[in-house]
Amino acid sequence: MSNDKKHTLDPNKWIALYADYLFNYAIIRVDDHDLAKDLVQETFYSGLKGMANFRGQASERTWLISILKRKIIDHYRKINSIKGKKEIRVNFYADGDNKGSWIEERVPATWGDNAEQKIENEELKITLDDCIENLVEKYRIVFLLKTVQNYETEEICNELDITASNLWVIIHRARQQLRRCLEDNWFKK
Amino acid sequence: MSRKLLISCEEATSICNKNQYGEASTWDKIRLGLHSLGCVHCKTYSTQNNILTKLMGNHSNSCSNSGHLTDEDKLDLKKTLNEKIKKVN
């Protein structure tokens, strides 16, 4: 019976069989080639060390992915605990009568009447890429997963071990920052 | 969820961000609409936020993450993994 079939591990074939798969899984979630490669490397190491714990119930690939998932969460925790090196500027009054209102010098400026028509532009795309690049790492990852990879909120929360309200705060700040960055570097010029 | 009808600009922009992903509730959308009627800044923000979403839509078509593992990467992985395997055995 196929149910009785125990899966086995063969580390000599790991690179050939799973390196690309694991790498693709990681790169989407960390958006950095070298980091993704390191995570794959660490996954193989941990796999080797933990071979005795493999009970053969899951396939080799599933087992390796579960290790990689933990590595990604660990990485994410690490960057989460390092205070963002880049300053996050506040756009709204935090208290007082004006609590929650725009701070005057942070108010969005208009982008001109035909801003919408101007968006099919290669240079603008480059500017946007630069702006995304400048986001703090954890904002960048969450924003890209949600906006480009179209992940469900719940999926991101599970994978990165954050709450939904965390996620929306991050999205909120990322979008505010991107809006501002496009304004300063593109629409004002 | 808060029941109040009138919201601050910070709340309005938050709802607007959620709305970009189709995840704002009907109640939130009503409050955002009402707020935007009287608030030119948040209206501007909403317009620009929509543009950002459109730009990102194009972005996802044009960008394919930072590529894939090169042969060199794989050799590198293989070399170090083989060393570890030897140690284990």
Query: Using one digit for the tens of pLDDT, what is the confidence trace for A137-158?
Result: 889 999 999 998 888 999 999 9
Cα angle: A45, vertex A46, A51; to 5 degrees: 105
Residue among B21, B67, B84 minimizing CB distance to A33: B67
Contact A59, A7 (CB under 8 A): yes
Q: Taking CB atoms and an 8 Å cutoff, what residues of chain A touch B75? A: none
pLDDT in tens, B66-84: 568 888 888 888 888 888 8
Q: Which of A179, A186, A188 to mutate to test the interface with B (most CBs of B within 10 A)?
A: A179
Query: What does the pLDDT read at residue A3?
Result: 53
What's the gap between Cα B28 and its chain centre?
19
Q: Which of B73, B83, B87, B89 to mutate to test the interface with A (most CBs of A within 10 A)?
A: B73
pLDDT in tens, A65-116: 999 999 998 888 887 766 554 556 688 998 888 999 999 889 999 888 777 7
| ipTM of this complex prediction, to 2 decimal places | 0.78
Distance CA A100, CA A91 (A): 9
* pTM of the complete model: 0.77
Q: Taking CB atoms and an 8 Å cutoff, what residues of chain B touch A28? A: 65
Mean model confidence pLDDT for chain A: 87
Query: What does the pLDDT read at residue A88?
Result: 62
Query: What does the pLDDT read at residue A171?
Result: 95
